[in-house]
Structure 1
Amino acid sequence: MTVSTPTVPAARWRRAVARRPVLWFWLIAVGIELVVVPVFLLSGAQQALDDAIVATGAGFNTDLVSAARLVLDDRRALAGVLLALTQVAAPDLAVLVVGVIAGGGHLRRVGRRFRFWAPRLGARRGLTVWAGAVAVFTAMNLATAGLNALTADAYDFRWNVAPLWWPLLVGLLVAMFLDAGAVFEENGWRGFALPLLQHRYGPLLGSVVLGLLWALWHLPVKFELFGYGPAGAGALIAVLVAKFVALTVVMTYFFNAAGGATILAIAMHGLSNDSVRVGGFVFGDSLEAYLVSEINLLVPLAVVATAVTVATRGRLGLSHRYRVLP
């Protein structure tokens, strides 16, 4: 007699995903990452990518233009770049999976949020929000540069940005609209998960939850942290988690102020990654250097996050007039 294993009906999966769409989105995003990262490390793609970076002198950058140039200059980088892009695309891929399984119009709503600002705001209000976001994120990067300069005893630091140099303006546009992580993640984090979490928990707590999920999703690619020992890794993880939570609070404010606009989230994400290095260049791989440089990124974010939370009484730009629906 053969014993058959009962199968879970597809309808049950759909109901499960529909009941907890954000949880399933996050689990799928982490699952994709846990598949891609070992392949990246064990296939030789990472070593080939590192060799190409050294050979070309390109240095590490997060934007798609730099990635394309690296591949064109040294074809050894192709597999590593493609795997790295797949890893950062995990949140957007997870949204597609959840949308297909759960239905419920999730993908349509995510698509509608892919805009510069909500149409009901009008161009004048929308451009004002954009100008404020760009100014705040640039100011935070400059504040980090100042803190890096003050604490440079812990590491080598160089800041050589010429503010009126026209390539800097081009670089800022590339950072805002062609940063790999921003382009391939934000339909997931802000376009999909944030409105649902705000609807359930409110803007502030929803942002904290999203920041924690975002930080935890990053940990599988932060394996170098554990080379600093348990205490060092714990300190670094604590600062990184706090940084992602504070960054999420700031991004939520401007996202809501624009009526729910994923393109603005992409721009903010790209500016926070700072591929132009407005925050300067930090050299050194000691625990002290890593920890102090991360704290210098956190401090301006924490100040701005606190300011917008207090100023809006925790509403973070989610007015009744311009409510961002889940």
Structure 2
Amino acid sequence: WYAVALLLPAMLALLTGFANMALGAAAPGLAEVTWSGLLAVFAVRLVNPMDGPLGEEPGFRGYAVPLLQARWTPLRSAALLGVVVSLWHLPLVLFGQLSLIGLPTTFAITFLYVWLFNRTGGSVLLTFLFHNSQGTFTVGSFGFSGAEADRAELIYFAVVVLAVLTTVLLDRGAWRAAPASAIDSVLLRSGSDPIHR
């Protein structure tokens, strides 16, 4: 699961980048990517409280997912959280730091976070590493520009949706019921029985 958390985001970015290059896009930034640069970015993101992983994972996966899963299935919980996470990222669109296609992509990738969280028994650490990896080697690392960059974002959205559909189709059990360790036990002890709708 550590390999999934660390490598799946890079695989999604690589699939996107190479698909875009196959369609004729130039990738000038790829030649400038170095292992030392990637490790430096990864390390800074591990400890930067103003960055996404450290600022978001305790709340979204550490608090919200167990709370949602005490009432609903993982699939419905992921959909509900996906809406919240997308709204959370809306200011980035308004300030030009995220494109509009970034919102449905954010919604879709939330399903992968919930899947990983549940498959690792409710590990926030693994979703934190997934998030950190997702922001370390990105589609932006290819250096696409103009229409090619826009196309890359659409391809990335399609690749993420394909990854989500793969987990839903090939790992159906993971979407029907969350493991006990990934459900809010405080809510259950208070007398609210889980209603998996």
TM range, smaller chain:
0.7 to 0.9
1:205–1:319 Cα change, 3 Å: closer
Q: Which residue of 1 aligns with 2:160?
A: 301
Cα distance, 1:282 vs structure 2: 3.1
* Distance in 2, Cα, partners of 1:223 & 1:132: 32
Distance 1:217 1:277, change over 3 A: closer
1:136–1:193 Cα change, 3 Å: same
After superposition, where does 1:269-280 map in structure 2 within 5 Å?
269-274=131-136, 276-277=137-138, 280=141
CA contact (8 A) 2:69 2:178 kept: no
Alignment match, 1:252: 114
Q: 1:214 aligns to what?
A: 85
CA 1:195–1:264 in 2, change beyond 3 Å: closer, same or farther? same
Structure 1 residue aligned with 2:18, among 146, 159, 176? Answer: 146
TM-aligned CA distance change 1:241 to 1:219, over 3 Å:
same
| 1:71-97 superposed Cα distances (whole Å, 9 cap, x missing partner) | xxxxxxxxxxxxxxxxxxxxxxxxxxx
Q: CA deviation at 1:250?
A: 0.9
SS class of match (1:221): helix
- Code of the residue aligned with 2:158 in structure 1: it is V
Q: What is the root-mean-square deviation in Å for CA atoms of aligned residues?
A: 3.0
**1:134 aligns to 2:22 (yes or no):** no
Q: Which has the larger radius of gyration?
A: 1
TM-score normalized by the length of structure 2? 0.76
CA distance in 1, matches of 2:119, 2:77: 16
Match of 1:159 among 19, 30, 41: 30
Distance apart, 1:303 and its partner CA: 1.4
- 2:150 maps to what in 1? 291
- Please show how residues 162-173 of structure 1 align to structure 2 within 5 Å: 166-167=35-36, 170-171=39-40, 173=42
Distance 1:259 1:190 in 2: 12
Letter in 1 for 2:88: W
Question: Cα gap change, 1:175/1:143 in structure 2, threshold over 3 Å: closer, same or farther?
Answer: farther
Partner of 1:201: 72
Secondary structure of residue in 2 paired with 1:158 = helix
TM-score by length of 1: 0.48
Q: Which amino acid aligns with 1:325?
A: I
Matches of residues 58-77 of structure 1 in structure 2 within 5 Å?
A: none
Distance in 1 of aligned mates of 2:27 and 2:36: 25
Q: Specify whether residues 151 and 251 from structure 1 end up closer, same or farther in structure 2 by C-alpha distance, changes over 3 A only.
A: same
Tell me which residue corresponds to 1:99: none
Structure 1: gaps spanning 5 or more residues? 1-128, 226-235
Amino acid at match of 2:126: L
Query: What is the distance in 2 between the residues matched to 1:297 and 1:278?
Result: 8
Percent of paired sites with the same residue = 24
Tell me how far 1:176 sits from its aligned partner: 6.3
- Counterparts of 1:171 and 1:300 in 2: how far apart (Å)? 27
Q: Which SS does the other structure have where 1:159 is aligned?
A: helix
How many positions carry a matched residue from both structures?
181
One-letter amino acid of the structure 2 residue matched with residue 244 of structure 1? T
Q: What is the distance in 2 between the residues matched to 1:156 and 1:173?
A: 22
How far apart are 1:281 and its partner, in Å? 2.9
Query: Which amino acid is 1:133 matched to?
Result: A
Quick one: structure 1 residues 268 and 141, their matched pair in 2 at CA, closer, same or farther if it must change by over 3 Å? same
Instruction: Give me the whole-angstrom Cα distance separating, in 1, the residues matched to 2:10 and 2:31.
Output: 15
- The amino acid across from 1:246 in the alignment is A
